[in-house]
Structure 1
Amino acid sequence: MKKYVFKRILQAIPMLFVISIISFALMNLAPGNPAHAFITPKMSAAQVTRIKESLGLNDPIPIRYVKWLKNSMQGNLGFSYITHEPVIKEIAARLPTTLGLMGVTMLISVIISIPLGMISALKKNRKTDNIITGISYVGISIPSFWFAMLIVILFSSKLKILPASGMRSIGVDSTWDLIKHSIMPCTVLCFPNVAVLTRYIRSSALDQLNEDYVITALSKGLSTRAVLYRHVLKNSILPLITILGMSLPELVSGAFITETIFGWPGMGRFGVEAIFNRDYPVIMAITMISSSLLILGNLISDILYGIVDPRIRVVDK
C-alpha cells in the first residue's frame, strides 16, 4: 500500500505541472492586464512601465512562469496585487472555512443519501421510490445559483428566519449563529450532491438484490429488510467511495458560486474576487491548491476502497 500511495503521489506531480502551465498561459493570454487597475490617464509612460515592472509583467510569459514555478517550489506564492499581503497568508486564513463547509456538506450528503437510496431500492417502482427519484432528478438538474437565490428570497427576505450572507453576525460569536449562517450554503451544496449519491446507491442496491447471496439469504428465512441492511448495504456503498472522490470537483466549483452568493469568507469567494481583479498570484495559488485537493480526494477514495472491501487490495508493483 505504501508503494502504491508513493507511486500515485509521483504521478500527481506531472499532472500538477501540466495544470500549472495551462492555467498560467490562459490567465496571461486573457484580455486585460492587472496593471490597468493602478494606471491613471495622467501617468507618464515611464510611470506605467515602473508599475508593470513592480508587478513583474514586463517579462515574456515563459520567463514569468519559470520565476513563478521556482518561487512556488520554495513555498513562496507571491503577494496579492490588491491586498499586498502574502498569498499563502491570505489563503491560510480562508482555507479552513472552505474545507469546513465542504466537509460538513460531504458528511450530511452521505448521511442523507444512504438511507434514501436504500429505501428507494426497497420500494422500487412504488410511490416512495417515485417521490425520491423525482426529487433526485430536480436536485441533479437545478442550477446552483438559481437555487441559492431562491432560498435566500424565501428564508431570508420573506420568512426572515435565516441570515442572508456572511459567516457570523457582527458582535456575535456563538456556535448557533455559525450554524444559522451555514444552513443555506450547506443546503445549496448538499442538494445536488445528495441527489447524485442517492441515485448511485439505489442503482447499486438494486443490482445487489439480484445476486445469488441475496436469494440464498431470503430462502433461509431472513426478511428483505434484514438482508438489505446487513448484507446489501455493505456492497452497495462501495461505489459510493469512488463517487465521493469524483464529486469533489463539483463541491470545489460549487463553493465558488455558493460562497460568492452567500458572502462566505472562503477560498471560493476569494477566488472569484481575484478573477475580477486580475490578481494573478492569487488565481494561480487557488487553482493549484484546488487541483491538489481533487487529486488527494481521488487518492483517498482508492485507499478507502481497499480498506472497506477486504476482497479488493492494491497490489504494489
Structure 2
Amino acid sequence: MVKYIFKRIIQMIPTLIVISIISFIIMNLAPGDPSRTFIAPGMNSAQMQKIKESLGLNQPLTVRYMKWIKNILNGNLGYSFITHQPISSEITARLPATLGLMMSSMIISLIFSIPLGIICAIKKNKFIDNFITLISYIGISIPSFWFAMMLMTLFCSIFRLLPCIGMRSFHVHSTWDLIKHSIMPCMVLSFPSTAVMTRYVRSSAISQLKEDYILTAKSKGMSEINMLFKHVLKNSILPLITIIGMSLPDIVTGAFITETIFGWPGMGRFGITSIFNRDYPSVMAITMISSILLILGNLISDILYGIVDPRIRVVES
C-alpha cells in the first residue's frame, strides 16, 4: 500500500504541470488587460507601459510561466493585483470556510444517501422507491444556482427562518449562528451528491440481494436486519468510495457558484471575484490549489477502497 501511495503521488506531478500550463495559457490569452485596473485617466503611453513592466506583463508568455513556476516552487504565490496582499494569506484566510462547507456537504450526502439507497433496494419498484428515485432525478437535474435562489426565496423572503448572506451575523460569533448561515449552502452542495450516491447505493444493494450468499444467509435463518447490516450494507457502500472521489470536482466547482450566491467568504467567492477583475496570480493560485484538492481527494478514495477491500491491496502490490 505504501508503494502504491508513493506511485500515485509521483503521478500527480506531471498532472499538475499539465494543468498549470493549460491554465496559464488560457488566463493570459483571455480577452482583457489586467493592467487597466491600475491605469488612471490622463496617463500617457509611457506611464501605461511602466505599469505593465511592473506587473511583468510585457514579457513573453514562456518567460512569465517559468518565473511563476519558480516562485510557486519557492512557496511564493505572488501578490494580488486587486488587494495588493500576499495571495497565500488571502487563501489561508478563506480556505477553512470552503473546506468546512465541502466537508459538511459530503457528510450530509453520506448520512442521507446510504439509508435512502438501502430502503429503495428493499422496497424495489414500490411507492417509496419510485418517490425517492423521482427526488434523486430532480437533484441530479436542477441547476445549483436555481436551487440556491429558490431556497433563498423560501427560507429568507417568505418564511424568514434563515439568514441569506454571509458566514456570520454582524457582531455574532456563536456556533448556532454559523450553522444557520451554512444550512442553505450545504443543502445546495449536498443535494446533487446525495441524489447520485443514492442511485449508486440502490443499484449496488439490489445486486447484492441477488447474490448466493444472501440466499445462504436466509436459509440459515438470519434475520433481515442482521443480513442488511452484516453483508449487504458493507458490500453496497464499496462503490460509494469511488463515487465520493468522482463527486469532489462537482463540489469544488459548485462551491464557486454557491459561495458567490450566498456571500460565503471562501475560495470560491474569491476565485469568481479574481476572474472578473483579471487578477491572474490569484486565479492561478486558486486553480492549482483546487486541482491539488481534487487529486488528493481521488487518492484518498483509492486508499480507502484498498482498506475496505483487501483484494485491491493484493492486486496493487
- Normalised TM-score (structure 2): 0.98
Deviation of 1:39 after TM superposition, in Å, equals 1.5
What is residue 16 of structure 1 aligned with on the other side?
Answer: 16
CA contact (8 A) 1:4 1:314 kept: no
Letter in 2 for 1:246: M
Q: Percent identity?
A: 70
After superposition, the C-alpha distances for 1:153-174 in whole angstroms (9 at most, x for unaligned) are 1100111110001000001010
RMSD after superposition: 1.0
Across the two proteins, how many residue pairs are aligned to each other?
A: 317
The answer to whether the aligner puts 1:289 opposite 2:289 as a matched pair is yes
What is residue 53 of structure 1 aligned with on the other side?
Answer: 53
Instruction: Structure 2: state its 5+ residue gaps.
Output: none
> Which stretch shows the higher mean deviation, 32-41 or 145-154?
32-41
Deviation of 1:227 after TM superposition, in Å, equals 1.5
What is residue 98 of structure 1 aligned with on the other side?
Answer: 98
What is residue 107 of structure 2 aligned with on the other side?
Answer: 107
Rounded to whole Å, the distance in 1 between the matches of 2:260 and 2:32 is: 23
Rounded to whole Å, the distance in 1 between the matches of 2:29 and 2:84 is: 23
Q: How does 1:299-310 map to 2 (within 5 A)?
A: 299-310=299-310
After superposition, the C-alpha distances for 1:105-141 in whole angstroms (9 at most, x for unaligned) are 1111101110000001000000110111010000000
Deviation of 1:316 after TM superposition, in Å, equals 5.5
The answer to whether the aligner puts 1:205 opposite 2:200 as a matched pair is no
CA contact (8 A) 1:4 1:315 kept: no
What is residue 275 of structure 2 aligned with on the other side?
Answer: 275
Rounded to whole Å, the distance in 1 between the matches of 2:37 and 2:71 is: 25
Deviation of 1:312 after TM superposition, in Å, equals 2.7
Rounded to whole Å, the distance in 1 between the matches of 2:124 and 2:47 is: 71
Q: How does 1:1-317 map to 2 (within 5 A)?
A: 1-313=1-313, 315=315
Rounded to whole Å, the distance in 2 between the matches of 1:201 and 1:157 is: 36
Deviation of 1:218 after TM superposition, in Å, equals 1.1
Letter in 1 for 2:216: T
Rounded to whole Å, the distance in 1 between the matches of 2:233 and 2:311 is: 16
Letter in 1 for 2:27: M
Deviation of 1:55 after TM superposition, in Å, equals 1.1
Rounded to whole Å, the distance in 1 between the matches of 2:50 and 2:2 is: 51
> Which stretch shows the higher mean deviation, 224-233 or 130-139?
224-233
CA gap 1:20/1:314 in 2 versus in 1, 3 angstroms: farther
Rounded to whole Å, the distance in 1 between the matches of 2:10 and 2:251 is: 25
Letter in 1 for 2:183: I
Letter in 2 for 1:110: L
Rounded to whole Å, the distance in 1 between the matches of 2:157 and 2:316 is: 57
- Runs of 4+ in structure 1 deviating by more than 4 angstroms, as ranges, are 314-317
Rounded to whole Å, the distance in 1 between the matches of 2:44 and 2:190 is: 53
Deviation of 1:34 after TM superposition, in Å, equals 0.3
After superposition, the C-alpha distances for 1:202-239 in whole angstroms (9 at most, x for unaligned) are 00001111111011111112233332222100000000
Rounded to whole Å, the distance in 2 between the matches of 1:236 and 1:117 is: 9
Rounded to whole Å, the distance in 2 between the matches of 1:315 and 1:195 is: 32
